[in-house]
Chain A
């Protein structure tokens, strides 16, 4: 007791109480997650269902078939899982059953997608393994010729030519129309928008029939890659316009208003503000429309027709395309032609995948959102602006030539507000 605390010795002095250590917080409860019992219920029911179904299929009932087996396992799993969960109340049972059903549907859909893609590549592997599949056309190879004769070059060339023609028409017209819908509001643009939205689901065969009736029957021209390209562009136009319209509507109004406030006109605003801010989304729209157009068979079937010969001229004679080749060859009762059909489908699928990956890398960013490199470039540019704008000390510039001074003065005059005092 030799050391008395100051608070006791001199009660008049106020001492700030030392903050009491806060009581130890109770450990956070986990609000989500699964308990061990949940895992046991899930996996136990799965094992039970598998065992029960195997027993029924092999010993008790004369059942067979893979589809039936999977279905029975699934149904008995649902039943067992419901029974096991029953003690937690009816609400928990319903929740778990719904969760299982939703999960299995998602798995089913993804499995089908993977199945389709892998199946096409697997069936086409024998044709794709031969390099001549990419360098020869099919004019010299019949249904009985082995796979090291003939290939899909005519179809690849035809597909690329036709999609190029279609894009040449679709991109300028579609983007202009999307800009029109976004920038010139009014009754007319509402009408156009309604019609375009309704035509998004125009069956592609009708686009083909329309061009076939106009070009081949009406004008009496022969079937050609050009007609097919035009038919594809009729089909792609509404898709592109709709996607681009959605993207353009996402451009923040504040950006456009800032541009108007700086005195820019409508054209200048569209060209320097709206379109560049939506660039990533517009590119995605174009690529996805191209992916849709590249896989269409029926417009090409009607407007261009199938040929086995490599045809570089899209104007006067039939021209094949990859989907049309796959469609035509798979109907032959020949295994070799079936393999070629799947090879063509695999090349087509590869092209679509490529376009799709391109769209994912280009797109997926909102308007005005920049990539790392764009940000860097912009930072460099603004640093440069800063250096340019910083007033040079007349003494520290040292031995500058007359020209440089002139330049700096001009820069200052440009950056200073007109009312400011030029030094």
Chain B
């Protein structure tokens, strides 16, 4: 008798969840979007303006810009190029990264795995502080003190490992005991060492953050299977943190490539491709800009802009690669 068919009302439909924002919210949204757009504009303007100003020099120089070693923009086509400075930049960055990776890896492992719990926070603070020390302080330290302290070590390397091409000295008799230590200073190696100490803290803090996130279950599993602490690190922490290690290293490389002031102070600039890292003289893009920005002619400035654009693109590529590696790793982008 009772008809069980339910009463059919109007069909249920998903109600729209967006409400009409009031005037305050509309102003807020416009403000937020506007500030985002402004920041985007500034960031694009840096690259865009460099590119526009550089076009003059680039169109004059053509491909010779990439192959010329000398830097004499007023000499015209074929007289200026980034072959030497770019090689020098990559060389110094490479030295810095090679030295900084073991330092950063070791100290990150110490802080995350070995340090007593009490001092861990203090150590993290110290590493962060080291990252905040201005580059001119590192530069002063390297310029006045470190390169003379290490000149003896450089001489030793040149004497015993001179057969290894980067350690060869050209035009200097390494066996002459009367050589002043000055021939071993102001070299790419010294600049690289100082830059290495500058980039170690940032690499260390990225690696430590990733190591700290290694899952405790897996750590305990490794211990339960009889692993030593180092065995646990090798089988759990390092594989887990591989993305962080690679990403942190590349971020450090990006920093090293753009380092200006400490390299300017230490390196004596020579516009030729120089692969002998122990010998005085070398070159890099960023110090060259600081050295030559006072050049009067507009064309010389345009050439500098072209060099700056190259540096910009190089650091951008390195950074994007680093971000991609970190984001793809198991630990993910932590910060």
Contacts and interface: CB of A to CB of B under 8 A. Distances in A.
Contact of A196 (B43, B106, B257, B293): B43
Interface string A43-69: 000000000000000000000010110
Contacts of A326: 136-137, 140
Give the residue among B114, B230, B231 with the most A Cβ atoms within 10 A. B230
Interface stretch (A104-112, A141-149, A401-409): A104-112
Contacts of B140: 120, 326, 330, 341-342, 345
A318 to B, nearest CB: 13
A297 B144 CA distance: 18
Contact of A265 (B24, B45, B335): B24
Interface string B256-268: 0111110001000
B42 to A, nearest CB: 6
Interface residues of A, number: 95
Given A109-B200, A120-B141, A360-B125, A295 B134 contact: yes
Contacts of B29: 184, 266
Nearest to A123: B144
B228 A203 contact: no
A352 interface: yes
Interface stretch (B3-11, B63-71, B175-183, B307-315): B307-315
Contacts of B137: 116, 120, 295, 326, 345, 348-349
A348 B323 CA distance: 32
A102 B109 contact: yes
A129 interface: no
B289 A205 contact: yes
Contact of B24 (A200, A217, A267, A330): A267
Contact of B42 (A194, A205, A234): A234
Interface string B110-152: 1101110000000101111110111111111101110001101
Given A94-B228, A291-B132, A353-B129, A102 B50 contact: no
Nearest to B102: A105
A199 interface: yes
A296 interface: yes
B132 A99 contact: no
Contact of A203 (B44, B138, B315): B315
A191, A294, A326, most chain B CB atoms within 10 A: A326
Interface stretch (A19-27, A173-181, A374-382): A173-181
A183 interface: yes
B83 interface: no
Nearest to A217: B301
Contacts of A341: 140
Contact of B28 (A65, A67, A113, A267): A267
A177 B36 contact: yes
A206 B311 contact: yes
Contact of B103 (A109, A197, A331): A109
B255 interface: yes
Contacts, number: 256
Nearest to B40: A192
Contacts of A294: 134
A255 B144 CA distance: 54
A352 B152 contact: no
Which of B46, B204, B308 has the most chain A CB atoms closer than 10 A to its own CB?
B46
B60 interface: no
B114 A209 contact: no
Interface in A256-281: 265-268, 270
Contacts of B35: 173, 176-177, 180
A266 B289 CA distance: 46
Contacts of A119: 141, 145
Contacts of B289: 205, 209
B135 A295 contact: yes
Contact of B46 (A192, A196, A206, A296): A206
A356 B134 CA distance: 12
A204 B260 CA distance: 8
Contacts of B298: 217
A214 B39 contact: no
B32 A204 contact: no
Contact of A68 (B21, B156, B254): B156
A419 to B, nearest CB: 24
A213 B134 contact: no
A113 B129 contact: yes
B61 interface: no
A9 B55 CA distance: 113
A193 B150 CA distance: 43
B82 interface: no
Nearest to B125: A360
Contacts of B249: none
B260 A205 contact: yes
Given A113-B126, A204-B258, A288 B132 contact: yes
B286 interface: yes
Contacts of A110: 123, 126
B161 to A, nearest CB: 14
B136 A213 contact: no
A99 B229 contact: yes
B139 A327 contact: yes
Nearest to A116: B141
Given A102-B114, A103-B110, A108 B103 contact: yes
Contact of A349 (B32, B106, B133, B150): B133
Interface string B20-58: 011011011101110110111011111001100100000
Contacts of B255: 201
B308 A206 contact: yes
B28 A112 contact: no
Contacts of A356: 128-129, 132
A377 to B, nearest CB: 26
Interface of B: 21-22, 24-25, 27-29, 31-33, 35-36, 38-40, 42-46, 49-50, 53, 102-103, 105-107, 109-111, 113-115, 123, 125-130, 132-141, 143-145, 149-150, 152-153, 156, 197, 200, 204, 228-231, 233, 251, 254-255, 257-261, 265, 286, 289-290, 293, 298, 301, 304-305, 308, 311-312, 315-316, 318-320, 323, 335
Given A99-B114, A102-B106, A104-B106, 13 more contacts: A112-B197, A113-B133, A176-B35, A198-B323, A201-B255, A203-B258, A209-B308, A234-B42, A297-B260, A302-B290, A327-B136, A338-B144, A355-B132
12 contacts: A94-B230, A98-B230, A113-B129, A176-B31, A201-B315, A202-B315, A206-B312, A234-B46, A288-B132, A301-B261, A326-B136, A345-B136
Sorted nearest first, the 5 A-B pairs with minimum C-beta distance are: A295-B134, A203-B258, A105-B106, A176-B35, A106-B110
